[in-house]
Chain A
């Protein structure tokens, strides 16, 4: 549970009922698949049975002949894109790859790759018709391992890809096609000198499997291409403006022709930013003249969306015998999947970010393999590297016999520390999270019992700023209708409304937030990067300030004095002689004093957050006969700047921890030699259930970020970073085995136990 001092604010730090809560506990909330339109028909996709093949021919004639089939589309219906790089809000993308991922063109590059789509009167007809599409394939060798894909003689997935260099990586010399799409090098100080100063050097190689975000709601899109050329998309997305941009670019229509209506979203975690279905549904709608609904199956979600990549990493840390880090080297290769775009760049920037490392070198590779194009997953890239580095840190502590919390305090990154990739940290709370764990009852308690062990680990995530817009209208009864563009995945309507309420001096319940479509609010970047409570919060505060200044003018008008004589204070406008009009009183007078008061606010993306840290402590029990790990107790400390709604902050931490536990102990894409994922159902992929985990205790640490008026730091992503390493360290403490692979599933752990 949280340990929070009495809040210094009136609204911030309290725990009101979230505004969208009643709809969600009564079944009334409308998610993407819940929408029904007049004349709507249903679509299904034909997906590749092969991981790597050339498409020789697609024949849809048998499918078109089925009664009830209204339209069929293939990549031939999508405009040619060429090598066009487009900035889509959270990173640039090559349109050639984006369109080929939506519907395969010359080649299929992973099992499940979409090839064609059918729209029919009902879903059953559409699914039957899909089976009648005849595709002629020329089979190619599937490439499934990142290290094999990097070899110069490896088969090539994308003929047009050449290595792109970042940081101090040298420009690629030859112009041969390659699977290595990106190469990063970041350096600080002198690695060789740093290693020479070390009394102890630890190094290991690590492997992690592909894992999925696992949101419970499958991707969906319902699209109507109207007779006037306007395209309306109802969908589940983390970013309606990004989805609009992607859809418009893919269809090569003006951006104003597309309206995206963000429905309630059933989880995303980074996986609902890329567009898969809307352009396909749009083309089916255009051809059939009906609104078309597409909903993925669970297997489609696993096989054909954007899991987060598997990796191979080599890490090295040097340390003096009194426990001071001298140098670190990291070599990180991520599986991009079919097309470039893994978060390896972020991994390179995160790898040493918990520590003040004098000398370091990081090299990273983004490598194409025959798996679905990878995507962001909660602190993308950071969990991989935290697993590796925090395991090495634990090994150092073991060998030097130093308390792991003390070691982290001694070496922690702090304000002024320069990251290996360049930026210098402003006010951050790494040390404070370690202290919180060190002082916790959990860490100070003794752990008894056979095969039981305790581990700690820390993690870092940047936290993004980016752009947001809101508007807010004062209602005559003293409430405020707040309009925002940030889709609400986990309670952000409440956290944004609370910041507006705090600024205006009204209650959270007096704000009525709505998430609206792309025609109804200004540009807003994706719900991702732990940015919404920070950045959309800033926009809401600005809108509240705009309302304040308009209300000052109204009061000055009523009191017949200059506006400079009145001020806004504690939810009221006060005058020089003790006059006072409460927000509610003024709201009732708006129509008589000039009409509506509409506040507006934007955040421009110039401010970037200072970054978030978490330190976790876990107790485990290992069954040495089965290799199974049971989590006995878990405590997560995290710097959240200022907790706006502590319950939902705790919820973010608890949810991130349990995703991290799943990644640590069980989850993986289990591929056969042909590139088929053999566990593409929830039953076999097996995310944690409530029977697998204990209560997750949270310690909310508040080191305010000075860049936000109330000190907010994003809270959503960093909690997933420490769990795999913390659990690996606890396993070592329990049975003396160092795990170098994720997941640390029973067969893998048993193998290591038996080797001992």
Chain B
């Protein structure tokens, strides 16, 4: 195994440097090196979406990204969705709409939904289901998750 590298990134707006081995994934570094455990691990091969983060504006599964690849990138994680102690519309909609049960997939869904709403502020039900299809939830049957994203979109539009 070759030596460790220093990687410089911005995470949730904060300039951050970390040391990693070339074989370490972004997920492993976020969770184990930076202690940001809000990003969850469900499968480690890109199938479940629990580890979704946004890198340079695009949602990615962080288990399939090597940490050395994100040099210079702007990364947003679930920890950055909350502004201070204020939750945003998506988080509130998940809470109010009971869109979570066990909660392990919830950070991934929220980050993915934020990415959807950034691109498409007024998605249809089909748009939402298509965009969230890479995030697996085994508890809710998705009904309340889709409704929560609809509610968040509506609330955000009425504010803006």
Whose C-beta in chain A lies nearest to the C-beta of B93?
A: A25
Whose C-beta in chain A lies nearest to the C-beta of B41?
A: A33
In contact, B44 and A216 (Cβ under 8 angstroms): no
Whose C-beta in chain B lies nearest to the C-beta of A653?
A: B141
In contact, A489 and B43 (Cβ under 8 angstroms): no
Any B CB within 8 A of the CB of A651? yes
In contact, A266 and B102 (Cβ under 8 angstroms): yes
Chain A residues near B125 (CB-CB < 8 A): 695
Any B CB within 8 A of the CB of A87? no
Whose C-beta in chain B lies nearest to the C-beta of A128?
A: B1
Any A CB within 8 A of the CB of B105? yes
In contact, A654 and B144 (Cβ under 8 angstroms): yes
In the assembled complex, the CB of A648 is this many whole angstroms from the nearest CB of chain B, namely 6
Chain B residues near A30 (CB-CB < 8 A): 37
Chain B 69-80 near chain A by CB (<8 Å), digits 1 or 0? 000000001110
In contact, B43 and A654 (Cβ under 8 angstroms): no
Pick the contact of A25 from B41, B94, B102, B138 — CB < 8 Å? B94
Any B CB within 8 A of the CB of A34? yes
| Complex Cα gap A273–B25 (Å) | 31
Any A CB within 8 A of the CB of B118? no
Any A CB within 8 A of the CB of B57? no
Pick the contact of B42 from A27, A216, A657 — CB < 8 Å? A216
In the assembled complex, the CB of B88 is this many whole angstroms from the nearest CB of chain A, namely 10
Chain B residues near A465 (CB-CB < 8 A): none
In the assembled complex, the CB of A393 is this many whole angstroms from the nearest CB of chain B, namely 25
Any A CB within 8 A of the CB of B87? yes
| Complex Cα gap A438–B59 (Å) | 45
CB within 8 Å of B: which of A29-49?
29-31, 33-34, 36
Pick the contact of B102 from A28, A265, A658 — CB < 8 Å? A265
Chain B residues near A681 (CB-CB < 8 A): 43, 45, 47
| Complex Cα gap A137–B82 (Å) | 54
In contact, A215 and B102 (Cβ under 8 angstroms): yes
Any B CB within 8 A of the CB of A593? no
In contact, B23 and A696 (Cβ under 8 angstroms): no
In contact, B138 and A267 (Cβ under 8 angstroms): yes
Any B CB within 8 A of the CB of A298? yes
In the assembled complex, the CB of B46 is this many whole angstroms from the nearest CB of chain A, namely 8
Chain B residues near A34 (CB-CB < 8 A): 31, 37
Pick the contact of B100 from A25, A36, A297, A687 — CB < 8 Å? A25
Any A CB within 8 A of the CB of B19? no
A696 and B141 contact, Cβ closer than 8 Å, known pairs A218-B42, A489-B101 = yes
In contact, B102 and A27 (Cβ under 8 angstroms): no
In contact, A27 and B138 (Cβ under 8 angstroms): no
Chain B residues near A647 (CB-CB < 8 A): 97-98, 144
Any A CB within 8 A of the CB of B133? yes
Report the contact-size class of chain A (Cβ under 8 Å from the partner). 35 or more
Chain A residues near B44 (CB-CB < 8 A): 297-298
Any B CB within 8 A of the CB of A15? yes
Q: Which of A21, A490, A647, A648 has the most CB of B within 10 A?
A: A21
Chain A residues near B94 (CB-CB < 8 A): 21, 25
CB within 8 Å of A: which of B123-160?
125, 128-130, 132-147
In contact, A695 and B101 (Cβ under 8 angstroms): no
Chain A 57-75 near chain B by CB (<8 Å), digits 1 or 0? 0000000000000000000
Any B CB within 8 A of the CB of A154? no
Any A CB within 8 A of the CB of B66? no
In contact, A25 and B87 (Cβ under 8 angstroms): yes
CB within 8 Å of B: which of A98-129?
124
Any A CB within 8 A of the CB of B2? no
| Complex Cα gap A645–B98 (Å) | 10
Any B CB within 8 A of the CB of A24? yes
Any B CB within 8 A of the CB of A214? yes
| Complex Cα gap A27–B105 (Å) | 10
Interface residues of A, dominant DSSP: loop
Chain B residues near A546 (CB-CB < 8 A): none
Any A CB within 8 A of the CB of B106? yes
In the assembled complex, the CB of B129 is this many whole angstroms from the nearest CB of chain A, namely 5
In the assembled complex, the CB of B134 is this many whole angstroms from the nearest CB of chain A, namely 8
Any A CB within 8 A of the CB of B95? yes
CB within 8 Å of A: which of B1-25?
1, 21, 23
In the assembled complex, the CB of A687 is this many whole angstroms from the nearest CB of chain B, namely 6
A21 and B95 contact, Cβ closer than 8 Å, known pairs A267-B139, A682-B48 = yes
A695 and B143 contact, Cβ closer than 8 Å, known pairs A26-B87, A659-B138 = yes
Any B CB within 8 A of the CB of A754? no
In contact, B78 and A651 (Cβ under 8 angstroms): no
Whose C-beta in chain A lies nearest to the C-beta of B23?
A: A124
In contact, B79 and A216 (Cβ under 8 angstroms): no
In contact, B40 and A31 (Cβ under 8 angstroms): yes
Q: Which of A22, A27, A36, A691 has the most CB of B within 10 A?
A: A27
Chain A residues near B43 (CB-CB < 8 A): 298, 681-682
Pick the contact of A22 from B37, B87, B135 — CB < 8 Å? B87
In the assembled complex, the CB of B131 is this many whole angstroms from the nearest CB of chain A, namely 9
Any A CB within 8 A of the CB of B121? no
| Complex Cα gap A268–B39 (Å) | 20
| Complex Cα gap A28–B140 (Å) | 20
| Complex Cα gap A659–B140 (Å) | 9
Whose C-beta in chain B lies nearest to the C-beta of A17?
A: B95
A27 and B79 contact, Cβ closer than 8 Å, known pairs A124-B23, A216-B48, A655-B141 = yes
Whose C-beta in chain A lies nearest to the C-beta of B98?
A: A647
Any B CB within 8 A of the CB of A217? yes
A216 and B91 contact, Cβ closer than 8 Å, known pairs A27-B77, A27-B78 = no
In contact, A215 and B138 (Cβ under 8 angstroms): yes
| Complex Cα gap A658–B137 (Å) | 10
In contact, B142 and A651 (Cβ under 8 angstroms): no
Any B CB within 8 A of the CB of A689? yes
A217 and B146 contact, Cβ closer than 8 Å, known pairs A27-B79, A683-B45 = no
Chain A residues near B48 (CB-CB < 8 A): 216, 298, 682
| Complex Cα gap A656–B132 (Å) | 20
In the assembled complex, the CB of A715 is this many whole angstroms from the nearest CB of chain B, namely 12
| Complex Cα gap A448–B153 (Å) | 33
| Complex Cα gap A271–B133 (Å) | 25
Q: Which of A29, A213, A266, A659 has the most CB of B within 10 A?
A: A266
Chain A residues near B77 (CB-CB < 8 A): 27
Any A CB within 8 A of the CB of B26? no
Chain B residues near A733 (CB-CB < 8 A): none
Pick the contact of B146 from A21, A650, A683, A695 — CB < 8 Å? A695
Pick the contact of B37 from A27, A218, A656 — CB < 8 Å? A27
- Sample of 14 A–B contacts (CB below 8 Å): A31-B37, A34-B37, A216-B48, A267-B101, A645-B98, A651-B101, A654-B143, A656-B141, A659-B138, A681-B43, A688-B142, A690-B129, A690-B133, A695-B146
Sample of 12 more A-B contacts, CB < 8 Å, known A648-B98, A655-B140: A18-B98, A21-B94, A22-B87, A26-B87, A214-B138, A216-B105, A216-B136, A656-B141, A657-B141, A659-B141, A690-B133, A696-B143
Residues of A within 8 A of B (CB): 15, 17-18, 20-22, 24-31, 33-34, 36, 124, 213-218, 264-269, 295, 297-298, 489-491, 645, 647-648, 650-652, 654-659, 681-683, 687-691, 693, 695-696
Question: What are the nearest 5 A-B pairs in CB distance?
Answer: A27-B38, A266-B104, A24-B103, A654-B141, A658-B141
